[in-house]
Amino acid sequence: MILGIDLGTTNSLVAYFTEEGPKIIPNRLGKHLTPSVVSIDEEGQVYVGDTARERALLYPDTCASVFKRDMGSNKEFKLSGKKFRAEELSSLVLRALKEDAEEYLGEEVTEAVISVPAYFNDKRRRATKRAGELAGLKVERIISEPTAAAIAYGLYQDNLETKFLVFDLGGGTFDVSILELFENILEVRAVAGDNFLGGEDFTNVIEEMFFENFPKLSKDSLNEKELRHVHKQAESCKLGFSREDTSKMQCKIGEEVYEFSLELGKYEKACEDLLERLKQPIKRSLSDAHVRLSEIDKVILVGGSTKSRMIHKFVGKLFHKMPYTNINPDEAVALGAAIQGAMKERNAAIKEVILTDVCPFTLGTEVVREWENNQREDGVFCPIIDRNTVIPASRTERFYTVRDNQTQIRIHVLQGESRFAENNLSLGELLIDVPKAKAGEEPVDVTYTYDINSILEVEVKVVSTEKVTRQLFINNDEIDMTPEEIEERFKTLSYLKIHPREREENKLLLLQGERLYEENIGERRGYIERALFHYERALDTYDPAKIEDAKREFKKFLEEFDEL
């Protein structure tokens, strides 16, 4: 069986395909959403999801979140004295999802289709694939999130000719994809996006407004624990707008309690710059797809951040139609990834659909451009495969030497949209030996091939000698890992034990109680302390019946206390 995994910035999900269609697999707490948060204690015990998120409020130095934004980079996160890259933290999330799936399905699972933002570049996609390998999964395909969502929506459409626009706003990234369904062909026409725009940015707006309202408070004066507390309350305030036109947040910092009330209209005005940023990828994708706004039949909302009333209003006003939300925006990507896995297995229960995808970025090389009057310009980017070219794709361009008796040509592999090479992402380079000759007389044919997993292969052929140099899987050398290094890191990460699933809910409840104790003062603290004491005593008995009764009672206490 091939799992479908939505590895998100804020939350992650895992799904599988059944005869009745794709289904979400619940995690060890019985929930569909697993927060993409990792915590590691001093003993090397790993906590993932809700438990890790609670630990983040109490022990911030042991936790990491929103690390998906740093996939493919050299940034390191320090947890309990140990350093991890984003892909390694992601592998721990994937490992927890894998364990949950195996427990639920009653069998070992080793294969998966993993989704990534459509606008993830080659480096980020490779890091995602490595994260899967470090989690013990064979990644059968990396699929773009909007494409996965469109599969979930488009597979069972009655109308066989439909143009979709998928508006995918998650916790940390924003993607737009334009797709066309024609009979059994689902074609991606164009993608665009912003890898640094998501729900977290809308939360940060409230956080900044909170600090502006209390000038005596400053971020620099607060410790990590207090900052996380403020951020959590800002997130709750944002979610409050789903029910009311006025939302509040309350923060206890030191011995003082700060209360902040915010009206929806004022919040929307403060978010105008972010809403304007959402428009840019939409315009670009429509332009690239040569599709007019009026030709879009359905706008599909994907990603947890699209549940916001403000986003619904923004999309409806922009497209002059109500967005389509028949599938839970949180779950659409995982369900589509599971369907893609079933397609890969050629599952007989699934309707046959031919899926085409596109290259999200332009791929090219660095050249010296010759202009009139023998003027030359160095460091110019020469596109070979344009963005939004249907993949798999292969393109060849011929280049020439620029100096007499030149013995080498450097093929600098680049990804991006800038006219200048230095402004684009460097994926690597090849140095090709060529025979000595006059400038412009020794040509090489450079072929770029981009496959359905968005992996690039570069082939260079020296025309005069017919010698071919080929390099698979172009990477940035700084973050590249050999198979041996991946295996070694896999062994290292394997020593980290994910918290036992049978004790997960108990740990989560204790952390919630500890957090409430720290957030309150006076008599309220006394009530929490007493409830914690009784629950801990029940856990110490190791009596399943007593623990279950105490758990039920403590959960009820926490729910009622939060409402006071």
Question: Which pairs with CB-CB distance under 8 Å and at least 24 residues apart come from 193-197?
Answer: 193/117, 193/118, 193/119, 193/168, 193/281, 193/360, 194/119, 194/277, 194/280, 194/281, 195/69, 195/117, 195/119, 195/120, 195/124, 196/69, 196/172, 197/169, 197/173, 197/274, 197/277, 197/278
pLDDT of residue 563: 60
What are the beta bridge partners of residue 403?
none
Q: Which residue has the tokens 């979610």?
A: 239
Our answer to whether residue 68 is catalytic in this structure is yes
pLDDT of residue 561: 80
Contact 414, 427 (CB under 8 A): yes
- What are the residue ranges in the chain where pLDDT is below 70? 154-160, 348-349, 351-353, 453-454, 472-502, 521, 562-564
From residue 276, alpha-carbon distances to 99, 272, 304, 315, 406 in Å are 41, 6, 19, 12, 50
pLDDT of residue 349: 63
Contact 368, 378 (CB under 8 A): yes
Question: Taking CA 377 as the corner, what is the angle to CA 376 and CA 381, rounded to the nearest 5 degrees?
Answer: 135
Q: Which of 6, 140, 187, 235 is catalytic?
A: 6
pLDDT of residue 478: 41
Question: Taking CA 478 as the corner, what is the angle to CA 395 and CA 138, rounded to the nearest 5 degrees?
Answer: 70
Our answer to whether residue 168 is catalytic in this structure is yes
Q: Which of 50, 145, 330, 366 is catalytic?
A: 145
Q: Which of 88, 140, 168, 442 is catalytic?
A: 168
pLDDT of residue 479: 45
pLDDT digits over 94-140, tens only? 999 999 999 999 999 999 999 998 878 778 888 999 999 999 999 99
In this prediction the pTM is 0.77
What three-state secondary structure class fits 224?
helix
Q: Which of 50, 54, 68, 87 is catalytic?
A: 68
What three-state secondary structure class fits 216?
coil
